[in-house]
C-alpha cells in the first residue's frame, strides 16, 4: 500500500496526467489504496486516479477506460500534468 501511494505521488510529480491502479479482485492492498486515492487526487490538483479490479471477466472495461482517458486528457490540457 505504501508503495502504491508513494508511486502515485512520484509519477504525478514526474508529469503523469493520470494513474491507473490494477489489482486482482478482493486485493486488500487495492481496496485500502482506493480509499486513500480521493484525498491524494485532491492534493495533486484533481489528478485522475482509477482502480480496476480483475477477476477473469472483462465487463465494461472499454467504456471505463474511455471515460478515464477523457479525464486524463482534460487534466493534461489544464496544464496540471508536466506534458500539458
Residue 40: domain span: 18-77
- The whole-chain average pLDDT of the chain stands at 87
Given a contact cutoff of 8 angstroms between Cβ atoms, the answer to whether 3 and 9 are in contact is: no
> Over 90: is that where the pLDDT of 27 sits?
no
62: in domain:
yes
- What total number of domains does the chain contain? 1
Strand positions, DSSP E, the chain: 19-24, 49-54
Q: What is the pLDDT of residues 36-50, one digit of tens each?
A: 999 999 999 999 999
Question: Region 52-79: what's the mean pLDDT?
Answer: 86
**Cell (9 digits) for 84:** 500539458
25: in domain:
yes
12: in domain:
no
pLDDT at residue number 1: 60
> Over 70: is that where the pLDDT of 25 sits?
yes
84: in domain:
no
pTM, to two decimals: 0.74
Which residue is listed with cell 481496496? 31
Amino acid at each position: 500500500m505504501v508503495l502504491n501511494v508513494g508511486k502515485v505521488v512520484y509519477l504525478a510529480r514526474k508529469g503523469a496526467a493520470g494513474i491507473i491502479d490494477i489489482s486482482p479482485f478482493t486485493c486488500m492492498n487495492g481496496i485500502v489504496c482506493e480509499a486513500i486515492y480521493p484525498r491524494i487526487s485532491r492534493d495533486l490538483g484533481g489528478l485522475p486516479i482509477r482502480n480496476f479490479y480483475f477477476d477473469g471477466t472483462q465487463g465494461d472495461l472499454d467504456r471505463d477506460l474511455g471515460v478515464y482517458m477523457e479525464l486524463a486528457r482534460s487534466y493534461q490540457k489544464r496544464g496540471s500534468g508536466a506534458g500539458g
